[in-house]
């Protein structure tokens, strides 16, 4: 048997190599990606082999992540439960796509992942595998094995000469990619606790943020962010740039209690400066160029889109259909948005577009006003009719 294992080099997936090898009498091939976190590939590869894997595949998927996942989700306005920009959730189907390719090349029988039995990631992993390659088996060692604690795992590692992380266990579980960081466990598990400062990885507190605001202008073309302060910029670079800028001003911290697919409520904090800035700007531009009907209806689509992403249904026909709607909706989402970054806040201070539906001569209260006030009388006669009928009935 041949198994492709999603490998991070951490304790769980290191042990998984040996455990899978023994339990399934299998050859283990590790798979690692770069989705924006920092990783030393050479070290990782050496470690995987030392632990018993025959090889390690490494893919730099950053560009694909941005093009095929991040940008579509931005256009869709996908924020799970109105807040979480879905960084972790979006990366899972991407990683599985890569693993399936390797599995085909290697003629492997199964994919394995290090997700637990109570999280969302197992769902994303397994639904994506089923969709992309229904014939592949999926194995989740962490759900199956006998270890009850980290200590058990370390003991097993020592016994089998598996290199264990030298550093003391960090109090948090952290998932990192270019669209954001997800942080849970430790003190965060009590939702009443304010997140300790050391939980945050890339943003400063608003107290430590500069006392002077910073203004930035983001340009969009058909819903895609393409420039910063008037200068064209590659999207990947733009995201990196906004991550730094936002982080410096304490922008992008999200503290939420969310509903996992398995029914558990969990407290998680996120740092997603670029995602928060871009979603804020994108939404402001849509408000300028969308009709009221489109704006309100797209909210429903955004919500459903975020659920599908969160629940591991990125690959599904309904998601494809929503993508078509979203794509069409972006035809006029071209223009610029000015944002003020200041002490943890991301404030829209201006927006413009050559496709704007905003008309100053209709909105103004000055003598430039072109709105036909006399027309309002007849309009209210008719629009107010149902209210009048109900009012009469109440009497």
**Which residues are at the interface with ligand ARG (CB under 6 A)?**
88-89, 120, 173-175, 182-184, 268
Q: Cβ of 122: how many Cβ atoms within 10 Å?
A: 22
Nearer to ligand ARG, 47 or 92 (CB): 92
DSSP assignment letter at 186: G
As a residue count, the chain comes to: 395
| Shortest separation between residue 268's beta carbon and ligand ARG, angstroms | 5
Round to whole Å and give the CA distance between 4 and 272: 30
- Whether 293 is a known active-site residue: answer no
Round to whole Å and give the CA distance between 249 and 208: 8
| Shortest separation between residue 238's beta carbon and ligand ARG, angstroms | 23
DSSP assignment letter at 271: E
Nearer to ligand ARG, 78 or 108 (CB): 78
- Whether 259 is a known active-site residue: answer no
> What is the CA angle 198-201-204, rounded to 5?
80
| Shortest separation between residue 340's beta carbon and ligand ARG, angstroms | 29
Nearer to ligand ARG, 265 or 373 (CB): 265
Q: How far is CA 332 from the centre of its chain?
A: 24
Nearer to ligand ARG, 95 or 183 (CB): 183
Nearer to ligand ARG, 37 or 137 (CB): 37
> What is the CA angle 242-183-186, rounded to 5?
150
| Shortest separation between residue 89's beta carbon and ligand ARG, angstroms | 4
9: left (phi over 0), alpha (psi -120 to 50) or beta: left
Helix, strand, coil % over all residues of the chain, rounded to 5 = 45, 20, 35
| Shortest separation between residue 84's beta carbon and ligand ARG, angstroms | 7
DSSP assignment letter at 69: I
| Strand pairing report for 253-259 and 265-271 | antiparallel
Catalytic-labelled residue, pool 12, 14, 45, 266: 12
| Shortest separation between residue 174's beta carbon and ligand ARG, angstroms | 6
Residue with tokens 């404030």: 347
- Whether 22 is a known active-site residue: answer no
Nearer to ligand ARG, 184 or 327 (CB): 184
Please say whether the beta carbons of 254 and 84 come within 8 A.
Answer: yes
Catalytic-labelled residue, pool 59, 62, 73, 92: 92
Catalytic-labelled residue, pool 8, 68, 109, 173: 173
Tokens for 109, please give them. Answer: 């029988």
- Whether 12 is a known active-site residue: answer yes
Catalytic-labelled residue, pool 14, 121, 306, 329: 121
Catalytic residue annotation:
12, 92, 121, 173
């Amino acid at each position: 048997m041949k198994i492709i294992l999603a490998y991070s080099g951490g304790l769980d997936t290191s042990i998984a190599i040996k455990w899978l090898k023994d339990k399934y009498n299998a050859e283990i091939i590790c798979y690692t990606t770069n989705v924006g976190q920092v990783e030393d590939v050479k070290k990782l590869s050496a470690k995987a082999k030392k632990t018993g894997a025959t090889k390690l595949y490494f893919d730099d998927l950053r560009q694909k992540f941005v093009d095929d996942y991040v940008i579509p989700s931005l256009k869709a306005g996908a924020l799970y439960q109105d807040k979480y920009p879905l960084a972790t959730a979006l990366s899972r189907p991407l990683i599985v796509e890569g693993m399936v390719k390797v599995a085909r090349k290697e003629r492997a029988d199964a994919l394995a992942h290090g997700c637990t039995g109570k999280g969302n990631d197992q769902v994303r992993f397994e639904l994506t595998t089923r969709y992309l390659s229904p014939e592949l088996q999926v194995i989740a060692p962490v759900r199956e094995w006998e270890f009850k604690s980290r200590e058990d795992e370390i003991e097993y590692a020592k016994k089998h000469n598996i290199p264990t992380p030298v550093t003391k266990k960090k109090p948090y579980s952290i998932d990192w990619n270019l669209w954001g960081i997800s942080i849970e466990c430790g003190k965060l598990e009590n939702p009443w606790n304010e997140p300790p400062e050391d939980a945050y990885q890339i943003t400063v507190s608003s107290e430590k943020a500069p006392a002077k605001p910073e203004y930035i202008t983001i340009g969009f073309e058909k819903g895609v962010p393409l420039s910063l302060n008037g200068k064209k910029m590659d999207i990947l670079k733009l995201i990196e740039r906004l991550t730094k800028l936002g982080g410096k001003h304490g922008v992008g911290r999200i503290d939420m209690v969310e509903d996992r697919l398995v029914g558990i409520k969990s407290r998680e904090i996120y740092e997603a400066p670029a995602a928060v800035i871009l979603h804020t700007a994108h939404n402001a531009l849509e408000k300028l160029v969308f009709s009221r009907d489109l704006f309100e209806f797209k909210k429903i689509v955004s919500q459903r889109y975020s659920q599908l992403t969160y629940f591991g249904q990125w690959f599904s026909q309904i998601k494809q259909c929503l993508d078509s709607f979203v794509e069409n909706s972006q035809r006029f989402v071209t223009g610029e948005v000015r944002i003020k970054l200041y002490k943890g806040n991301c404030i829209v201070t201006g927006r413009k577009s050559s496709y704007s539906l905003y008309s100053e001569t209709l909105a103004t209260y000055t003598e430039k006003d072109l709105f036909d006030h006399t027309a309002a009388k007849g309009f209210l006669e008719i629009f107010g009719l149902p209210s009048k009928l109900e009012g009469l009935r109440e009497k």
